[in-house]
């Protein structure tokens, strides 16, 4: 593969053609704030926090690093006044949309946003429309139980027709990737409630200790994916105990 020369914050590197600028920068230990980027997903460019200043011959412009492929010699700066100003504005807009998203406060403060100058929304929870949950559910889990609905300022993430998400398998990935904690889930005994998507999933109980440990639908997806390997239907803790138990017999046999 052809190597391409690039300069990031004065550091000259040779990278493979079509590497994403964000990955190159992070490899060099350069900190670029992101909210909608995930290394397991393709480029998206929704939050605009990863903005950097790009120079090619005599042209200079701002670009989002997470969807900037390096195809020719570029000079990238991640810390110019222009970049800082642009990031601050993006963060202000995000904070106006989700003013109560506590997990964003440290980042907002770092970017110099304490109180957004704009009118704050308080009717849509903490969702900032980064699309991580939607993309994970579709591209990685392959279920697509949720998606965007409406346009403009009415845009939200929701289930088809705002009804119960019957396709949801309860894997909880949306909960884990959501940067603002907007997606909520609750395990109570035999059910996992995906509260935000209004789905109730039946849990499988461990055949040994009887504790609920995985949603039945998720179990099915995993065992289909691992065809040929039979899953044990017991929880990880009991699986460890079983391993030791098997060893015990092996040892006892050998000793006696």
> Which tokens is 150 given?
């409406």
Closest CA to 234 of 254, 218, 203, 213: 213
Could you say which residues in the range 169-208 bind another protein, by CB under 8 A? 171-173, 175-177
Interacting partner of 127 out of ligand FES, ligand SF4, another protein, none (Cβ under 5 to 8 A depending on kind)? ligand SF4
Window of 33-41, 182-190, 192-200, 211-219 that interacts with ligand FES by CB under 6 A: 33-41
Could you say which residues in the range 203-242 bind another protein, by CB under 8 A? 214, 218-219, 222, 225-226, 229, 231-232, 235-241
Which of residues 186 and 226 has its CB atom nearest to ligand SF4 in the complex? Answer: 186
Residue 183 interacts with ligand SF4 (CB under 6 A): yes or no:
yes
Buried b / exposed e over 57-66, threshold 16 CB at 10 Å, is: eeeeeebbbb
> Which tokens is 96 given?
């106006």
Q: How many CA atoms lie within 13 A of 92 on its CB side?
A: 14
Residue 157 interacts with ligand SF4 (CB under 6 A): yes or no:
yes
Query: 101: which DSSP letter?
Result: -
- Minimum Å distance from CB 178 to ligand SF4? 3
Query: 121: which DSSP letter?
Result: P
Task: Sort 144 into a burial class: Cβ within 10 Å, 0-12 / 13-18 / 19+.
Answer: middle
Give whole-number Cα distances, 37 to 32, 47, 67, 196, in Å.
11, 9, 9, 22
Residue 86 interacts with ligand FES (CB under 6 A): yes or no:
no
Window of 21-29, 165-173, 179-187, 239-247 that interacts with ligand SF4 by CB under 6 A: 179-187
The C-alpha atoms of residue 3 and residue 13 are separated, in whole angstroms, by: 10
- Binding residues for ligand FES, rule: CB under 6 A, are 34-37, 45-50, 64, 66
- Binding residues for ligand SF4, rule: CB under 6 A, are 127-133, 157, 177-180, 182-183
- Binding residues for another protein, rule: CB under 8 A, are 38-40, 136, 140-142, 171-173, 175-177, 214, 218-219, 222, 225-226, 229, 231-232, 235-241, 243-245, 247-248, 251, 255
């Amino acid at each position: 593969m052809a190597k391409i020369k690039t300069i990031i914050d004065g550091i000259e590197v040779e990278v493979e053609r079509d590497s994403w600028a964000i990955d190159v920068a992070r490899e060099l230990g350069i900190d670029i704030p992101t909210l909608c980027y995930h290394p397991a997903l393709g480029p998206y460019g929704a939050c605009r926090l990863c903005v950097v200043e790009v120079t090619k011959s005599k042209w200079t412009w701002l670009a989002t690093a997470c969807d900037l492929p390096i195809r020719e010699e570029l000079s990238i700066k991640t810390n110019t006044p222009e970049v800082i100003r642009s990031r601050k504005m993006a963060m202000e807009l995000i904070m106006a949309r989700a003013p109560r998203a506590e997990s964003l406060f440290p980042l907002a403060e770092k970017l110099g946003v304490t109180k957004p100058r704009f009118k704050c929304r308080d009717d849509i929870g903490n969702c900032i429309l980064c699309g991580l949950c939607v993309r994970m559910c579709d591209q990685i889990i392959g279920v697509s139980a949720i998606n965007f609905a409406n346009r403009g300022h009415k845009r939200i993430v929701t289930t088809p027709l705002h009804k119960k998400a019957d396709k949801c398998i309860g894997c909880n990935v949306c909960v884990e990737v959501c940067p603002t904690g907007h997606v909520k889930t609750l395990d109570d005994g035999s059910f996992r409630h995906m509260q935000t998507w209004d789905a109730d999933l039946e849990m499988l109980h461990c055949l040994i200790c009887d504790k609920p440990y995985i949603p039945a639908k998720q179990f099915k997806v995993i065992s289909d994916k691992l065809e040929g390997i039979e899953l044990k239907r017991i929880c990880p803790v009991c699986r460890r105990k079983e391993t030791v138990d098997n060893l015990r017999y092996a040892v006892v046999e050998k000793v006696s």
